[in-house]
Every structure is written in C-alpha cells, then in structure tokens.
Structure 1
Amino acid sequence: MSEIVEQTQLPPSGPEVNVNQEEKTVSPWVDVWRRFRKNKAALFGAVLVSFFILLAILADLIAPYGFKETALENKHLPPSSDHWFGTDEFGRDIFSRVVYGARISLWVGFISVAGSVIVGSSLGIIAGYYGRWVDTIISRLFDILLAFPSILLAIAVVAMLGPSLQNALIAIAIINVPTFGRLVRSKVLTVKEEEYITAAKAIGMKDSRILLHHVLPNSLAPIIVQGTLAIATAIIEAAALGFLGMGAQPPTPEWGKMLADSKDFIMQAPWTVFFPGIAIMLTVLGFNLMGDGLRDALDPRMRN
C-alpha cells in the first residue's frame, strides 16, 4: 500500500511536462500568429495586402512609364507587350497608373484610418473610463455623426473644404471616428471593472498612467481588427469620392478617378475600366480576409 502512495506522489516528468511548460510560456502574440497562419483565407489576404504594399513602395522601379506621360497617338491601345494594361484616352500607360495608384490608395487608407484610430480611441477611452456627463457628451457626438450615411457625410465635408485628395482623406477620417470611439468605449467599460484597475487606483496611480499602461493595451485587439477592416472601407470611400470628382484631381492616378475618367469609353476600351476596378477589388478583398482572420485569431473563444 505504501508503494502505491509513493508512486502517486512522484512529480510528473517526461516530454508531456516540457510541452505543458512550453505552452505556458508562449507569448499571447505568438499564439495569435499560430492561429492566424492556420487560416488559409487570412494568409491569402495577407499575401494580397503585402503584394500591393510592395507595389506601392517600388512603384518607381516597377512602372515602365511615368503616370503623367501622354502620347495622344497611342490612345486606347489594347493590352500588349509595350503596354501591359493598354492605354487610356490620353495615351497614358494604364499599368503604370495602376501601380502608382496603389501608392495613393494605400496612403489614403492607412493615414485616414490612423487618424480615426487616434481620435476615436482617445474619445472612447475618456468616455468609457470617466463616464457620467463626459460619457454623455461624447456618446451624443458619436450618435450625431452616425446619424448620417457615411458617404453623404464625406461628400458634405469635402464640399465644405473643397475637392482634393487631402480633404477626402480628412473626410474619411472623420466619418470613421465614431466607429472606433464606440468600439473602444464598450471595451473600456468592461476593462475598468477588472481587479487590476481597482488595485492601480488603490495604490494612487494617476488616471493617465492607468489609461496608457492598463486600459489601452487591453483594448488593442478590437482596435487592430476594426482598423484592418476600416482600411478596406477607406479605400472604397476614397475611390467613391474620386469617382464623383471630389477626391483626387487630374492627373493623379487614383483608382476611383481612373474609373470616372474611363466610364465614357467602357464599350470602346473596356480595359481602361477593368484593371483599376480589379485593383480596388483585390486590395479590399485582401484587407477584408486579413481582418476576418485577425478577428478569429484574437478572439479568446476561438482558443482550444
């Protein structure tokens, strides 16, 4: 009987213990990456996004022609070895303009979403953490912005500021602020009730330190996911404003503006519309797939 007791009290050993210890020491972000790379659709989206980012960075090396180079004698040439995507009504190389357009569209997407994240998250954290009248004022501001259809609000902002790519960027940033604000506010309302926040207040930690070192880091997951999806939305909104003539102005090779300039030649030269449209579709698809994958990877309920 004593031998049986001694056997049951022996400490566990062997490879199973090492596996358990390794799992315990794995960083949460490493765990997120492991689950993200198992999602084939998300990896495909990441590849698409990476491709267009590289295209934008290396545009000067990849594009065979300048995006402003015109040759009226070569207008509406079909795709060929000299002009892979054909030419437009001014004889400009569409492939070169699509490549440079990647730089503009991604720049608008990243910068506008970054502005939305900074402003919206700051307001959301303040509203959720302090509550009371501060929360009421900020929440009503969000409600007012959300009461307007996003594209109409963007058009109104650009109409007041004047049509340009920079003003379109500002408009897109403004219409996405309440989305991030309400998302972060709802997360903060949960986080601020945790015991470690109560402990931080009990030892006299300043609110600014609590917000930066405890509340914000624990609210990053939904911000990352929404930010990825918002970039896709921002690219579509920038293309819509460009199509309406309220975004990028000629000769800027913005994809939406390229569609607007070519809509009258869709039957005569369909390639002038096809390739910019495909570029928009693939870029938005990549960000959406990657955002969905990040959402699943960062969701604690998806962990085994």
Structure 2
Amino acid sequence: MAQPQLQPQGQVVPFKVKQEEVVSPWKDAWRTLRKNKLALVGFGIILFFIVVAVLAPWIAPYPYDKGELVMKNKPPSEAHWFGTDYNGRDVFSRVIYGAQISLWVGTFSVIGSVLVGTLLGLLAGYYGRWIDTIISRLFDIMLAFPSILLAIAVVAILGPSLQNALIAIAIINIPTFGRLVRARVLSLKEEEFVMAARAIGMKNSRIIMQHILPNSLAPIIVTGTMGIATAIIEAAALGFLGLGAQAPEPEWGKMLADSRQYIQKAPWTVIFPGLSIMLTVLGFNLIGDGLRDALDPRMKN
C-alpha cells in the first residue's frame, strides 16, 4: 500500500482522491437517448410535423375547405403537389392542416388519460382495500370491451364531433395508465425509503407526491409517448367511421373515409393522408422505444 509522501519539513501531504462526477438519472437517460439513432429519427419526424402544424397557415398554398369542381380529382402537378380531391380541394393543404388536428387530438387525449389514470392508480395502489377493489374492477370492466367499440359507444352518447372523439379516446386509455401506475405503486410502497418516511410521521399525501409519484414517472413517460401514436390511430379510425372530425375539417382519417370510393380513380387522395398517419405513428413509436431503452435500467448494458 502506498505511503503518504513527506515534505522536507516532515509535513504529511495527503493523497488527493479524484471524485467521480455524479450524474442524475435523467441526465444519464438523456445521454443514452442521444446515442439512439432511431430515436433521433423519431424526434426528427415528429419535429417536422409539429413545425408543419404550427406554420400551416403560411405553408398551405390554398384554403383547406375551398375548392373548384372543375379541378375535381386532378393528379399531382406543379399547381397542386398532392393533387386535388373529389371537391377540387388541394390535398397538400388539407394534409398540412390535418397535422394540427391529429397532433392536437393525440397529445391532449393522452394528457387527459395520464392525469386521470395516474390519480386512480396512485389511490388504488397506495391505499388498497376497498378503494383498490372499486378502481380495479372499474378498470377490468373498461378493458373487457374492445377499445374501438368503447370509443364508438362514448361518441354515440356524446354525439359525433372532434372534441367528443378526443374525450372518448382519453376515456378508453385511462385503464392502461391506471394499471401501470398501480403496479408501480404497489412495488414502491414497500421500499425502505417509503417505510422510513411513514415511520417519521410524514403524511400520506406528501409521501405520494414526493416519493411515489417521482419514482413512477419513467414508465408513465414511455407509455404516454407510445400512447400518442395509438391515440392518433384511434382518432383516424373514428374519423373514418364518421364519428370524429366532421366535414370540412381536414382530419386524416376523415380524408381517407371521404376518398375511399375514389381509390382507383384518384389514389393520391388516399395515399398522402395514409402516409402522414404512418409517419407520425412511426415517429412516436421510435421515440417511445428510445425512451424505454434510456429510462429502463434493465435495457442498459
């Protein structure tokens, strides 16, 4: 073992111990995420659609709700990059404005699902007993129905509209987040740091907000990101069935439904909205996979 060095005067010079940099879990996750090329591709795709949605009034060359019947079902050209639809409307402009609707519905429906599902999951997992029984049985009942059928039932009760479709999508995804959070809470509340907080007399509400919830954020973020992709598909499905956005709103699913009878005569009216849905969903799925790899310690080398 190395001995401390002595100066000529006999003074002991202590060894300097190099301290390693302490990296927070979130900073470490960000470093891992930046190395994931597929996740960066997903970020690029979603950033592109966000920019398109924000700048739609300036990018779109024509109004999305106005057309000329003499230009009905015209193929892509210099004047109309994506061609025109059965009403002579510019498909390119409608696809651009459709990005606003799809991102808005997907994002805010998932935010609603996360807020309600997380609250119910925290209550069920932490307090247990009859609270857990009631909430868990509610989740089981909701999950017993196919999600699209439950969404159709909700929209049928509230009435066909884009806002009601958003509410329906938020409702059907509540059990997904609720059960995820409940399982996480059941594991965390047995940890030593939670038991220590309870032993010193910390209130349950404070334990939940300061200890349980922060340690449950990682799976919520991952599932929520992938949930946006699912919500966009569900919104497109409701729009396709005529239960979501109503004419002349340029929602991608509604555009597919309105143009399905012209798929052989004017395939561009279906191809471009379909590609937009596919790329947006792909982008969110790639981001979700990257976040899962970055936030889950079991996925790290």
Tell me which interval the TM-score lies in, with the shorter structure as reference length: over 0.9
Matching residue within 171, 174, 183 for 1:186: 183
- C-alpha distance in 1 between matches for 2:190 and 2:43: 35
**Superposition deviation, residue 203 in structure 1:** 2.1
Which residue matches 1:129? Answer: 126
Which residue matches 2:240? Answer: 243
- C-alpha distance in 1 between matches for 2:273 and 2:219: 31
- C-alpha distance in 2 between matches for 1:183 and 1:248: 30
Matched, 1:228 2:225: yes
In the TM superposition, 1:252-291 aligns within 5 A as: 252-291=249-288
What is the count of residue pairs matched by the alignment?
Answer: 294
Matching residue within 64, 68, 80 for 2:65: 68
Which residue matches 2:212? Answer: 215
**Superposition deviation, residue 53 in structure 1:** 1.0
CA contact (8 A) 2:293 2:300 kept: no
Which residue matches 2:9? Answer: none
Residue type of the partner of 1:145? M
Matched, 1:176 2:173: yes
**Which 5+ residue runs of structure 2 have no aligned equivalent?**
6-12
- C-alpha distance in 1 between matches for 2:35 and 2:16: 31
**Superposition deviation, residue 54 in structure 1:** 1.1
- C-alpha distance in 1 between matches for 2:70 and 2:299: 59
Name the TM-score, length of structure 2 as normaliser: 0.94
- C-alpha distance in 1 between matches for 2:62 and 2:216: 45
- C-alpha distance in 2 between matches for 1:70 and 1:141: 48
**Superposition deviation, residue 10 in structure 1:** 7.2
- C-alpha distance in 1 between matches for 2:184 and 2:56: 40
CA contact (8 A) 2:4 2:15 kept: no
- C-alpha distance in 1 between matches for 2:186 and 2:16: 42
**Superposition deviation, residue 197 in structure 1:** 1.2
4+ residue runs over 2 A deviation: 7-13
**Superposition deviation, residue 57 in structure 1:** 1.0
In the TM superposition, 1:96-135 aligns within 5 A as: 96-135=93-132
**Which 5+ residue runs of structure 1 have no aligned equivalent?**
none
Matched, 1:35 2:32: yes
Residue type of the partner of 1:168? A
Q: After alignment, is 54-63 or 270-279 more displaced?
A: 54-63
- C-alpha distance in 1 between matches for 2:199 and 2:130: 24
